[in-house]
Structure 1
Amino acid sequence: MKIDRIVFALIATTTPALALASCGAAFCTVNSNWTTQSAASETGSMLDLRYEYIDQDQNYAGTSRVAFGQIARHHSERATRNRNLVVAWSHNFDSGFGLTVTAPLLDREHAHVHNHHGEQIDQYWNFRRLGDVRVLGRYQLLYADPLTSGGNAGLTFGLKLPTGRTGIRNDAAEPAERSLQPGSGTTDLLLGAYYNQALPAINANWFVQGQLQHAISPRRGYQPGDQLGLDAGWRFSINDRIGVLLQLNAQLKRRDSGSEAEPQDSGGRYLALSPGLAYALTDDTQLYGFVQLPVYRHVNGVQLGSRQALTLGLSSRF
């Protein structure tokens, strides 16, 4: 089937890390490489272009939504609007090794009120910058014939590089919070594992994947908290071109640390349900889209969150 030919081009290798803090900087946690469904046993490359829209205009404390300024803070968060274009290039080698390089281009707006000695000062940032690039390798330990119901399994390993800027300022020369900046300034270790299985008898595939992200050392008074991402997904092919997608995305994040961090308002536990559709334009190119709906969140302190997030993408094998 046409929609199944592309699925063997690339394993689900990268899940953009959920970068939540009080300011609300974020990536969508949908695993867009799940649209390719299965591990690559063929040599070749793939290009994935993905657009994310996350409008974080809700304040949360713990599991509850709270009103703007309800809980006293040095600054009261209004909203953050994230528009991300994520470009991922992947190549699979004959040896069972593969490589994925992911570069996010960020378009971010943020507004909050700075509470200074009883005075309320509106502050605003708007920037478009390159974020932190990820280089992720993988090694496939277990192969299966895509026409059978066997499974594929492997390991992922790599680095998040400090390519994004950390000194963005607004028109009033006020620096943005470190968790809002395009980059964290740190080099992070990425380790993970995956398993996926084709079910040709019912035209379906499923996968599970986990990935840990750990900042190796602080940078200029800031170290983002460790993050663990867990994903599970299912894909059912309706016909040669159309596939129905469903994911469950979980993120666990520890508090940020350092003199430039906001540990009281960072980290938490998040769970989202992400239904979607994929459409094969050709044997080697497909469109996909997801709507990510929060199911559960428990944040430390007060943090911004969204009611939903949107992901649209295009994947092509060559």
Structure 2
Amino acid sequence: MSKVVQRASMSLGLCALFVLAMVLGPVRSYAACGAVSCFVTIGSQQQVPQEGLLTTNFIYSYTPMTLPSGSTGIIAEADQRTHRIIPGHHRELSTITNSYTLDANYGITDRLGIQVTLPYLIRNHDHYHVHHGQDEDLSQFSDKGIGDMRITAKYNVLPSIRSMFVVGAGVELPTGDTNEVDKLGQVLEPSGQLGRGQFGLVGSMYQGYELIPHRLNEFVYASYRHTFKNNDDYQFGDEYILNAGLNAVPVESLPWLTITAQLNYRYMVHDSMYATMGSGPLMDQAVPNTGSSWFGISPGVLVSFADTWQGYFMAQVPLVRDANNNLSQGTTYTIGLTKYFQLGKKA
């Protein structure tokens, strides 16, 4: 690939980040009472391995959802069992999610790969029911188990020594729990469950280029998820993610040490549900207090060792959050290990 094409792809990705942030940033959005996941970019996840190479990631993330300063946390409830939306039903306190993710990438050819991502989630959520403006009935929810599995096919469109442009298309399988109850015996809202309860489609793009060979590279990652309506007539809103960052080896004599930093942007459209609101008719309508927008920075460090291992640590720090008087993702911590296995001979 020519240098002109390489630089054009890099510039296109960076411009896309700026344009999307400008377009989506000012839009009024809504925040869910449930939880979201860490969405940092880890290169060994998004790349296509060489033919016959299996790349595995073992990732732990701590994701807190707390109330931003000045928020009351009083939100509507979406009761999927009775198909009712009840405004001002409860006041959010917090949601804490610990996720343990196994991610496997295999290179079928040097250009074509397959990726399987399987999360195990431990989630705790607290809120008060609100009656006549007063907090009553503390609702405490906890659940643990497999989340929704994702399978993605990826193709490296423009491979070269210094660059890559990977496109992906995949499916999200409804393997996560959707019917767990809180300590009051009530089924928690869909947004707080471990799974979404229906299949989803995912598209992605990853672009990387070595600005200085073996010392400095840039990357851009974008993804889109659409989930279909589940059996409770609840549909999760579409999700857009756009990340851009740099990886640098600061000391030439220490090639095993990499410093990384990336900007992360996520926009989630409001959910919808076939339900009544107040005395209104039973119909498909937007669920109040769902969806969100989030922009932040993620500094980190990567350490390579024993030829086939890499460890990393990242902190995802919010800079701008639109939570619509609701819980919003706080500073998230991610620790991971990458291990490479050569399963077949490269032709």
Shift of 1:306: 3.7
Aligned equivalents of 2:207, 2:75: Cα separation in 1: 44
Q: Normalization by structure 1: what TM-score?
A: 0.84
Shift of 1:116: 4.0
Aligned equivalents of 1:46, 1:237: Cα separation in 2: 22
Q: How does 1:175-254 map to 2 (within 5 A)?
A: 175-201=187-213, 203-238=215-250, 239-254=254-269
Q: Give the corresponding residue for 2:139.
A: 123
Shift of 1:70: 10
Q: Give the corresponding residue for 1:278.
A: 302
SS of the aligned residue for 1:179 comes to helix
Q: How does 1:141-160 map to 2 (within 5 A)?
A: 141-145=157-161, 150-160=162-172
Shift of 1:303: 2.1
Aligned-pair identity (%): 27
SS of the aligned residue for 1:172 comes to coil
Aligned equivalents of 2:54, 2:321: Cα separation in 1: 36
Flag the 1:236–1:144 CA change in 2: closer, same or farther, 3 A. same
Shift of 1:193: 1.7
Q: Normalization by structure 2: what TM-score?
A: 0.77
Flag the 1:21–1:133 CA change in 2: closer, same or farther, 3 A. farther
Is 1:26 aligned to 2:36, yes or no? yes
SS of the aligned residue for 2:43 comes to helix
Q: How does 1:35-184 map to 2 (within 5 A)?
A: 39-59=48-68, 65-69=70-74, 73-94=88-109, 96-116=111-131, 120-145=136-161, 150-184=162-196
Write the deviation string for residues 261-296 of structure 1: whole angstroms up to 9, x where unpaired. 972101122111000001112211011010011111
Aligned-residue RMSD, C-alpha = 2.3
Matched positions, count: 289
Q: Is the 8 A contact 2:45 2:103 kept in 1?
A: no
- Residue type at the aligned position of 2:314: F
Flag the 1:65–1:292 CA change in 2: closer, same or farther, 3 A. farther
Is 1:314 aligned to 2:337, yes or no? yes
Q: Is the 8 A contact 2:48 2:106 kept in 1?
A: no
Shift of 1:201: 3.9
